[in-house]
Amino acid sequence: MSIQKRLVGSYFVVILITVSILEFLLIVLVNYYYFHNVERILMNQAELSASFFHQYAADEDVEKQSERLLNGFSHNSAAQVQIISLNGQLLQDSTGLPASDRMNEYPDVQEACNGKIGIWKGTEPTTKEAVLAVSYPLQTNHTTVGVVRFVTSLTETAKTVNQVSAIFIAVGLFVIAIVAVLGIVLSRTITSSITELKSAAEKMAEGDFSVRANKRYEDELGALADTLNTMAAKILQNEQLKNDFISSVSHELRTPLTSIKGWVVTLSATEENDRHMLKDGLEIIETETDRLTRLVDELLDFAKLDNGRIALWLTPVHLQGLLQHIGKQLAPRAARQRISLEVHADDSLPVIQADENRLKQVLINLIDNSLKFTGPQGSIKVYAHSELHQVIITVEDTGSGIDEQDLANVFQKFYKGNIHAAGSGLGLSISEQIIKLHHGQVKISSKVGRGTKVEIYLPR
Ligand SMILES: Nc1ncnc2c1ncn2[C@@H]1O[C@H](COP(=O)(O)OP(=O)(O)OP(=O)(O)O)[C@@H](O)[C@H]1O
Ligand SMILES: [Mg+2]
């Protein structure tokens, strides 16, 4: 069942129940009000007549004076007035009905004969009309001597009650109709948003991430539209990153391969005794092969880190020794690029629990970046200091710096400040993951043209 049907349906049921209960109450009240009113009027008139008799005619014979009494009683009443003797004989009737001696078959008359007030609502057998009758005893010195009976037809009252009820029911139906129409219109505003979202989501599911869900209102559905759009944008961005990555990796692979191929061709054409040429060529082939191996290693590492499949091999690591070793390893490259590489590591540095090879990989990544993005005459400083709970290792260079927009993204996988630059854009991302595995964190700050500073925080 569609949401619209469910919404309108439940709305409708609630209103239907409410209106029905209200209608029922109103109709019961109207009934009570009208019929009670008629009864009260008859009661009043009967009571008035009885007390009149009691005061002014108590010592008169009811049977003999009945005509005069009737005139007095019916004077102010539109109802039918009857005077009945104790044995049930109809003495007088304001409508001039033929005399009857079976009046005490009516329950109200029986009551009045016994000195009580009788009320009876029923169908008059002769006219088949709904009537209300009130009988009052006529008393002399506390003994009942006769009965005065007021009878009125209820047909008019019933008609009025029916009319009023009909009006109520009509109003009720009108309200229900309006509510139903409003419900359909309102629910359509909700369901149309949902339908739109659904069609946008379906297009996305089919792979079209350029569609955007239309946000109509600032509500939950609006938030859902936003989420869908953000998701599509993220997927597009990832798609873009993936494409950039593939092209940069292919480029990275191609360069060393071209160089290797070139040297192999050259060497195979070289005189066998040209030892010098042979040595140069083989050296270049070796470095290029190393470069390829490093790239492939990085990619493998990255895949493992990304799947969370890497486990650290924790051993006590002498930070001083580690930093100095890395310094020595990279010194020739720094010298070749005419960059001063200073490593400050004194013996106050603590021994920490860490995965030595991974930590080395991180530091080489960082220094490699600095070497890549720092020109000749620049300088790179690597230093560390320990605090109570943590060790901070810093790699600082005077290189090109990173502009603000890029700074927020450099830790993203495959992100490169310049897509044409060498590298896969994985170095910082891998480094960050490794430090996180050590429960530490990496912070980077940079100024374009001034240099970059990367800090590694490791818990002791
Ligand atoms: N020291 C730095 N100076 C200037 N820019 C830097 C520095 N370190 C990182 N960057 C910027 O951050 C980007 C991402 O660095 P990252 O190490 O992740 O990738 P990469 O060096 O391009 O590739 P890889 O390290 O995988 O060979 C770099 O492309 C560069 O734009
Ligand atoms: Mg790098």
DSSP of 128-176: TEEEEEEEEEEEETTEEEEEEEEEEE-HHHHHHHHHHHHHHHHHHHHHH
Determine the pLDDT at residue 278: 87
C-alpha R_g of the chain: 53
Tell me if 3-159 shares its fold with 220-304.
no
Pocket lining: 45 vs ligand 1, CB cutoff 6 Å: no
Kindly report the number of other CB atoms within 10 A of residue 412's CB atom. 16
Half-sphere exposure for 192 (CA within 13 Å, toward CB): 10
Q: Where are the alpha helices (DSSP H) in 307-398?
A: 319-336, 356-372
Atom of ligand 1 nearest to the CA of 425: 19
Pocket lining: 367 vs ligand 1, CB cutoff 6 Å: no
Pocket lining: 370 vs ligand 1, CB cutoff 6 Å: yes
Q: Measured between alpha carbons, how far apart are the two ends of the chain, in Å? A: 61
3-state secondary structure of 395: strand
User: Over the stretch 270-316, which tens digit does the pLDDT of each residue have?
Assistant: 887 788 888 888 999 998 898 888 888 878 877 777 777 777 889 99
Determine the pLDDT at residue 161: 93
Pocket test for ligand 1, best of 341, 416, 433, 455 (most atoms within 8 A of CB): 416
Atom of ligand 1 nearest to the CA of 298: 26
Pocket test for ligand 1, best of 369, 418, 424 (most atoms within 8 A of CB): 369
Q: How far apart are CA 48 and CA 138, in angstroms?
A: 11
3-state secondary structure of 218: coil
Determine the pLDDT at residue 240: 84
Q: Which ligand is nearest to the CA of 414?
A: 1
For 104, which DSSP code? Answer: G
3-state secondary structure of 396: strand
- Contact predicate 459/440, CB 8 Å: yes
Spacing, Cα 41 to ligand 2 middle (Å): 104
Spacing, Cα 170 to ligand 2 middle (Å): 80
Pocket lining: 373 vs ligand 1, CB cutoff 6 Å: yes
User: Over the stretch 119-142, which tens digit does the pLDDT of each residue have?
Assistant: 999 998 888 899 999 999 998 888
- Contact predicate 375/451, CB 8 Å: no
Q: Tell me the CATH architecture of domain 3-159.
A: 2-Layer Sandwich (3.30)
Region 220-304: CATH code: 1.10.287.130
Cα–Cα distances in Å, from 325 out to 320, 364, 456?
Answer: 9, 11, 18
Pocket lining: 426 vs ligand 1, CB cutoff 6 Å: yes
Kindly report the number of other CB atoms within 10 A of residue 21's CB atom. 10
Determine the pLDDT at residue 131: 94
Determine the pLDDT at residue 271: 80
Residue-range domain boundaries for the chain: 3-159, 220-304, 315-459
Pocket lining: 417 vs ligand 1, CB cutoff 6 Å: yes
**Residue among 317, 339, 335 at smallest CA distance from 397:** 339
Q: Which residue has the tokens 């040209």?
A: 274
Topology of the domain comprising 315-459: Heat Shock Protein 90 (3.30.565)
Q: How far apart are CA 111 and CA 155, in angstroms?
A: 25
Residue nearest to atom 17 of ligand 1 (CA): 427
Residue nearest to atom 30 of ligand 1 (CA): 417
3-state secondary structure of 347: coil
Spacing, Cα 325 to ligand 2 middle (Å): 20
The count of residues in the chain is 460
Determine the pLDDT at residue 460: 85
Digits of tens for pLDDT over the chain (460 positions)? 788 888 888 888 999 999 999 999 999 999 999 999 999 999 999 999 989 888 887 777 888 888 888 888 888 788 999 999 988 889 889 888 777 778 888 999 999 999 999 999 999 888 889 999 999 999 888 889 999 999 999 999 999 999 999 999 999 999 999 988 988 898 888 888 888 899 999 999 998 989 898 888 888 989 999 999 999 999 988 888 788 778 777 877 888 899 899 999 988 888 877 888 888 889 999 988 988 888 888 788 777 777 777 778 899 999 999 999 999 999 999 999 999 999 998 888 899 999 998 999 999 999 999 999 999 999 999 999 999 899 999 999 999 999 998 898 898 877 888 877 777 788 898 899 899 999 999 999 999 999 999 999 999 8
**Amino acid making up residue 402:** I
